Amino acid sequence: MPIRLSERWPEVSSDRLLSECVPPPRFSDVRFETYRPGPGEPSQADALGVLRERGEILAEPRRERSLWSRLRGSAPVAPEKPGIYLDGGFGVGKTHLLASLWHVSAGPKMYCTFVELTNLVGALGMRPAVEALSAYRLICIDEFELDDPGDTVLISRLLGQLVAAGVQLAATSNTLPDRLGEGRFQAIDFLREIQGLAAHFDVRRIDGPDYRHRGLPVAPEPWPDALVEKAADERPDASCDHFVDLHHHLAELHPSKYGALLDGVGTVGILDLRELTDENVALRLVVLADRMYDRDIPLITSGVPLDRMFSPEMLKGGYRKKYLRALSRLIALANAVTDH
């Protein structure tokens, strides 16, 4: 009997939210040595070099160096800016580099997405969050987003206090491929919104095609309903939900619980996938897609093809970058399933 996500009601404590602030399983084994800059993409090799240099510094235990060691130059020289920001399009390896930096760094350290960080601050409260996170030497923030001014102001306040406490920061963001300057406005917006923090960040642009779609079709053909249900019955720990039931259930859960919703799930099956026209429903599906991608959970769907899940109007709107990221990830998860 397949799992019904729409019948699960997970509870997630703030302690769990904090303890889960590590790279997702699909990035647990990545290292700088496994990153392969694309041929003809010098910005990727440049970003790798910059992150390696920071990793050498952060690999050392946090301590005050003696005058003699500084004169001898026996340890790497600290960067001028405490923050590094990787700006680029989809699937160019920014998360790979960010997770690699986390892996080589000495603790205490933290890794989360922007959404997970806002959820954490909401769960803990601003003052307790500052107190807890000030103890970290490095905080890595994947997928920094600027489409919610309230969240941006909240995190800007938090990061300002963390930088003042001596915390090193590393962040990434996806950008819109058709924006002027190939998405450079995303980095500019980031710097403008955090104002006082602007001088603390070294912004690096990473160019290149989306590696997840090299040689792959835009989207796989949807499965018939009966085959989705059959596969969910046969696969261990598979879930199977009607799309309407699933998105109604997501509306009743805080997004911070979407990861726990997937606990123990090995494959996600969705029946009767439909084109979305409601932004609220679409944004919840984006968060679920991120949590599925973090856990590398294969996806089987019937209904409309995945590349038609978001309406043309949505793909032209203010949340376009989120929807494109979700499509890129969902298609990769769906292409991981080959037997039907």
Mean pLDDT of the chain: 83
CA distances from 50 to 129, 172, 257, 268 (A): 29, 14, 35, 38
User: Which of 315 and 243 is assigned the larger pLDDT?
Assistant: 243
pLDDT band at 109 (very low <50, low <70, confident <90, very high): very high
Kindly state the tokens that stand for 179. Answer: 């924006």
Contact yes or no for 305/190 (Cβ under 8 A): no
User: In 10 A of CB 123, how many CB atoms?
Assistant: 18
Orientation angle between helical segments 126-133 and 114-124, nearest 10 degrees? 120
- Residue 289: pLDDT above 90? yes
Q: Give residue limits of the domains in the chain.
A: 5-11+214-335, 31-209
What's residue 4's pLDDT? 97
Rg (CA), the chain: 21
H/E segment holding residue 156 = helix 149-164
Q: Of 170, 166, 4, 3, nearest to 83 (Cα)?
A: 170
- Give residue 143's region: left, alpha or beta (phi > 0; psi -120 to 50): left
CA 95, CA 286: separation in Å to the nearest integer? 17
* Cis bond before residue 222 (omega within 30° of 0): no
What's residue 178's pLDDT? 32
What's residue 209's pLDDT? 67
Contact yes or no for 259/300 (Cβ under 8 A): no
What class, spelled out in words, does domain 31-209 have in CATH? alpha beta
pLDDT tens track for 115-164: 888 878 887 889 999 999 999 999 999 987 766 666 767 877 898 899 99
pLDDT band at 66 (very low <50, low <70, confident <90, very high): very low
- Residue 51: pLDDT above 50? yes
- Residue 187: pLDDT above 70? no
Phi/psi for 308 (5° steps) reads -115, 10
Residue with tokens 């955090």: 194
As a whole number, mean pLDDT of residues 182-191 equals 47
Residue 281 identity: V
What's residue 192's pLDDT? 58
- Residue 75: pLDDT above 70? no
User: In 10 A of CB 200, how many CB atoms?
Assistant: 20
As a whole number, mean pLDDT of residues 200-216 equals 68
What's residue 182's pLDDT? 36
